[in-house]
Structure 1
């Protein structure tokens, strides 16, 4: 398929690939327009340009020869995402520094993950650097489809002393470090499979102006949300009360569903009689799904089954959606000065079970990994190192695109803290800190993550469409057990 420009005003060289198959065409169009809104002014931001100059000066002073792979061309693949925008806006500086040409290939969310699996499992060398998360990497590492990065990190000819790998939050480093034993993931010590690039926790964020207009309180449980949605629909039928992902893909499970489910005591997998079993047909899971499905029916848009994060973000930005449960940075990005929702979005912890005193919040770690089949591994590593460096992370953060930096140094930097504390972002920083205290990886490390979670997403659609909750969960658990 031919390449198409990445929206009007996109960063130089940034392109979005046409999605795989017709089912994703509408989503791809939405994604390109949404991402272009974020990227449009990146290259004229004075703060960003200043950061680029600092990056170049610091890199030139490093003890690594940044031009040792001059003339190489690499491909970097990623989800259509503002995090990609943050790096793409700075690519001209990387190319100037190294003489390496980087071609981005960006895809809509679920199309990207499908394409990633195909590209790497066929051992195609066409992608050199890929965006991934912890969970997809669990499925890729055992087949030797990802390149372990320990050797690159520990090579003084390839990694600058100023890179400071230990500056990444320990929990994020640990989550991307494991060993493969007998075809399964064994967390803890082991090899480094990817480098953190950004991360997120799951929150409820809402249009403060809409809730205030109708005198509605921020709900804290799914039943409270259902009741609030009924009141909102009675007040204004044009507003969709709640935006959540519903596509038949694991990405619709890893945000709202898994975070709320954990507070009900639901486990995707657990040890029973010394063996790993799924917990998705447990009494706790049945209770959660009864409440969650009822909430979706009363609160979500009729397009729920086709909605991914692009639709959620666009809805809350335009005011068509009053509340959303998703990655916390989406509310932040829509509060940026000059946007329709600027100053109107506030933040709260995710919903919790009615009988629980605590909420739970899943984490997702956007990371950069290397394709094991790449024929340009040295150039690929220099790009990963540069894209996750202190200055590139900081510059992305204070440009309003790469929030939730995985580097501790960003969170102590005065420029970032002052920017994130601006009035238009309401209670973003305080809520982030409160939620992060309880945020943790909600999934069990194991190969087969995507297959099981995709099945859960399909079952969720069936239940929302009227299928019996208990029977559907029994079928889901049976399907997962048969594949273990």
Structure 2
């Protein structure tokens, strides 16, 4: 799968377009590199230090790795990347952090894995670095990150559990993020005169029409593996519009809402949609398969992270320039939609012995200038800073005809995008159980019975 992503991000046409649009950015980056030492931060205060940065093999990592020589020239700090395939990275991260190994100084994480690391004091709180003028440049602009991203990465620990709200600590810095959207082959839907679906029942009907029109095409790409990642994209985004909650407070105590009437209604619609729309390989499909399907032209629609649709523009690929975007599906009686967010963030290992150098790297890697440069390279999408979305060069690039309505759809969806899960230690175990239950229901198990058993399993772990 690494080879397929390498193809995504190195298409000749995108590269040529990028060269035309980045001349002003080169000047901006050069100005940053030369002017930074004149600000409040001495960028060479840890010169000669070597640090290790770990990340998933991903275009986001590619965007940052490409700029490492600039950072090393600016600071005199040597950065060694350790990049791992997605299916092994998370286990590797858990082992490194929970064993208090100092081998990694900075690492990439999502919100949910960070929750499970928090009780062991494996994460270094970052407020003291953000608030230190000797370590954080005056122009860094932490408040420039989208508010929903900052809020999701801020919490405190109370009795071994995550507590959001005031007086929380900042535990990671947004590097890139994804909101969940429906993206579709515009040419196929127009060819077969199929309206863009807005609800699961509409999607089920559209899939049946597509199958009748062209049996060789998989109507809908959706994740289905027995892992929480298959819940955090399509399933949770649509479920929220049905008023489904993973956890609720009931009679003053924490409980799950996954056996509620709303949840039963959602799962009946969702399971029916999956049966009529998804590939036979649904139970084994992760994001790799969703991306390959939409890019190769074998899949007509997908509900997943919006940047997968953006990355379809690769010379020679059947879907190049043909993918359009829409908000995720919602309940038939809902007046609006919900979109979950996934944040790739940079965090600091609390066991690192080189925290000052690690922070300078994190600050530089998430700066306005580096975020913009990564976005214009077509790799750091979606950029997490509001200033990037106000930058003429980025908007011009992302608004090219081959990206169809990407920018407009992003803005519409982002107004409704927020973390759809309840912050909680033990999130992964509960959501993995949900993913297993989803597979059972798709395979024919009774929806209501399966959800009651799932709820009892989750309650046993509370």
Decide whether the 8 Å contact of 2:204 with 2:276 is kept in 1: yes
The residue number in structure 1 matching 2:140 is 163
CA distance in 2, matches of 1:385, 1:371: 15
- Trace 1:9-408 onto structure 2 (pairs within 5 A): 30-35=1-6, 37-38=8-9, 46=19, 47=22, 52-189=29-166, 190-335=168-313, 340-408=318-386
| SS of residue matched to 1:237 | coil
SS for the counterpart of 1:238 is coil
* TM-score relative to the length of structure 1: 0.90
Question: Displacement of 1:362 after TM fit?
Answer: 0.8
Q: Distance in 2 between matches of 1:362 and 1:406?
A: 15
| Secondary structure class of the residue paired with 2:312 | helix
Distance 1:58 1:40, change over 3 A: farther
| Partner SS for 2:116 | helix
Contact 1:39–1:82 under 8 Å retained in 2: no
Pick which of 77-86 and 376-385 moved more. 77-86
* Offset of residue 390 of structure 1: 0.5
What is the deviation of 1:113? 1.9
Please give the TM-score of this superposition, normalised by the length of structure 2: 0.94
| Mean Cα deviation higher: 136-145 or 319-328 | 136-145
Q: CA deviation at 1:258?
A: 0.1
1:409 aligned counterpart, secondary structure: helix
1:355, 1:151 → 2: CA distance?
A: 47
- Seen in structure 2, the aligned counterparts of structure 1 residues 338 and 92 have a Cα distance that, compared at 3 Å, is farther
In the TM superposition, residue 383 of structure 1 has moved relative to its aligned partner by: 0.9
Given the superposition, is the C-alpha separation of residues 226 and 113 from structure 1 closer, same or farther in structure 2, using an over 3 Å criterion?
same
Q: Is the 8 A contact 1:110 1:251 kept in 2?
A: no
SS in 1 for 2:342: strand
Q: Which blocks of at least 5 consecutive residues in structure 1 are unaligned? A: 1-29
Q: CA 1:320–1:50 in structure 2 vs 1: closer, same or farther (change >3 Å)? A: farther
**Structure 1 residue 58: deviation in Å?**
3.5
Separation (CA, whole Å) in 2 of partners of 1:415 and 1:319 = 30
Cα deviation digits, residues 197-229 of structure 1 (max 9, x gap): 112211100011111222211111111111111
Q: Alignment partner of 1:440: what SS?
A: coil
Structure 1 residue 268, shift from structure 2 partner = 0.3
1:137 and 1:191 map into 2 onto residues whose CA distance is 13
What is the alpha-carbon distance in structure 1 between the residues aligned to residue 3 and residue 349 of structure 2?
Answer: 25
The alpha carbon displacement at 1:270 in A equals 0.6
Distance across 1 between alignment mates of 2:400 and 2:4: 26
**What SS does the aligned partner of 1:197 have?**
strand
Rounded to whole Å, the distance in 2 between the matches of 1:417 and 1:197 is 19
Aligned residues: 455
Query: 2:80 & 2:15 partners in 1: Cα distance?
Result: 17
Q: Post-superposition shift, 1:66?
A: 1.7
Ranked by relative contact order (alpha carbons within 8 Å, sequence separation 6 or more), the top structure is 2
Change over 3 Å in CA distance of 1:180–1:333 after alignment to 2:
same
Deviation at 1:63, TM superposition (A): 2.9
Structure 2 unaligned blocks of 5 or more = none
Cα offset for 1:50?
5.1
Alignment match, 1:17: none
Query: Per-residue CA shift, 1:292-317, capped at 9, x if unaligned?
Result: 11111211112212211121111111
Instruction: Find runs of 4+ consecutive structure 1 residues off by over 6 angstroms.
Output: 40-44
**1:265-324 CA distances to partner (integer Å, 9 max, x unpaired)?**
111001110111001111111111111111112111122122111211111111111000
Write the mapping of 1:454-469 to structure 2, written as runs, cut at 5 A: 454-469=432-447
